[in-house]
Amino acid sequence: MRRLPRAVFDYLDGGAEREASLRGNTRAFESLTFRPRNAVAVPQCDLRTKVLGAELSFPAILAPIGYSRLIHPDGECAASRGAGAAGTAYILSTIAGHKLEDVRAASNGPLWYQLYLLGGRAPAEAALERAKAAGFSALFVTIDTGTAGMRERDIRNGTGQLMGGNWIGMIPYLSQFFSRPSWVAAYLMDGGLHKLPNVIIPGEGPMSLIDVGAALADSVVTWQDFRWLREVWPGPIVAKGVLTGDDARRAIDVGAAGVVVSNHGGRQLDGVSATLRVLPEIVKAVNGQIEVLMDGGVRRGGDIIKAICMGARAVLVGRAYAYGMAAAGEPGVTRAIAILRADMERTMKLLGCSSIGELDQTYVDVPRDWPTTS
């Protein structure tokens, strides 16, 4: 990425440890091949779907990305505007650089909130009250962050030292910024590294970004927390980070309205299965009782279609729109969404399918060693 310093690009692009799960997510889509119905005229494609009661123009939702403001000064507001203009939903991360009220004001489309219990239940309850008042309608609870993943690119790039405020510690890593003057200028004009405006610690104020890693380890989400969340959040709750049928059934037991089949984009536990590969296990486990979404490895419209064929209601896309944001802010997000939509329409016509409601496993060849929904 020619605009971003190496530390910022690798924060966005990288994964945990050997990055085996990061690579596996995309390779899984390559392993799944299409079975088209040829000699079929498809003049129009209906990509519309409904997720958590919200009507979406197509089955791709903009995923939460922590501190998007580092990627571009408009960050989360740019993503919110882009999603709303495209008729789809955006999920705001707890670790956001912009106030949730400003993000809500940027879009007239569906907005959902992603929750970490940073600092414990009191800051979370305060944020949820604000989100509810602002008009966020669903809650996504991330369950795969028992501690922060080992992201080795961040270590090599000195990310911790760069955020720590010690100039002596920063010196060995500053050269990467010299060749990115436009990013540096925009970063400084935006006021540098902001504290987290949606994580307010009682008696202390907004949490610093540097403190997030330690706070995650001290604030592990458990299934018992879902019962408390059910009391404080009136809308649908989704468990994000499910990789087994057992956890999907636990989500049902605690009242979740949906699950996201996710390995955190390969950024947490390395060596877990690709999300597309385990998607059928989760679909089979929930048996239509709750909605199943998925993320991880989605880079093209054809990937979205493959996920739908394997049983997902919709997908969350992260890096696919974040690269566009890094390049051009809101116009970059808009362009990324338009590319995904055009990819989907073209692929649907080549498949001989006029509606995503018709997609199922008969449109793909599933590798023999993959689980299936049947």
Give the span between the Cα atoms of 26 and 44, in whole angstroms: 28
Residue 72 known to be catalytic: no
Inter-residue contact 338 to 5 (CB < 8 Å): no
Q: What's the pLDDT tens digit per position in 264-317?
A: 999 999 999 999 999 999 999 999 999 999 999 999 999 999 999 999 999 999
Q: Give the DSSP letter of residue 32.
A: S
In terms of Cβ atoms closer than 10 Å to its own Cβ (0-12, 13-18, 19+), residue 12 is buried
Helix (H, G, I), strand (E, B) or coil at 167: helix
Residues in the chain: 374
Q: For every one of its 374 residues, what pLDDT tens digit does the chain have, with 9 covering 90 and above? A: 678 999 999 999 999 999 999 999 999 999 999 999 999 999 999 999 999 999 999 999 999 999 999 999 999 999 999 999 999 999 999 999 999 999 999 999 999 999 999 999 999 999 999 999 999 999 999 999 988 889 999 999 998 888 877 788 888 888 999 889 999 999 999 999 999 999 999 999 999 988 888 888 888 899 999 999 999 999 999 999 999 999 999 999 999 999 999 999 999 999 999 999 999 999 999 999 999 999 999 999 999 999 999 999 999 999 999 999 999 999 999 999 999 999 999 999 999 999 999 999 999 999 988 876 65
Give the span between the Cα atoms of 155 and 19, in whole angstroms: 14
Domains and CATH numbers, the chain: 6-365 (3.20.20.70)
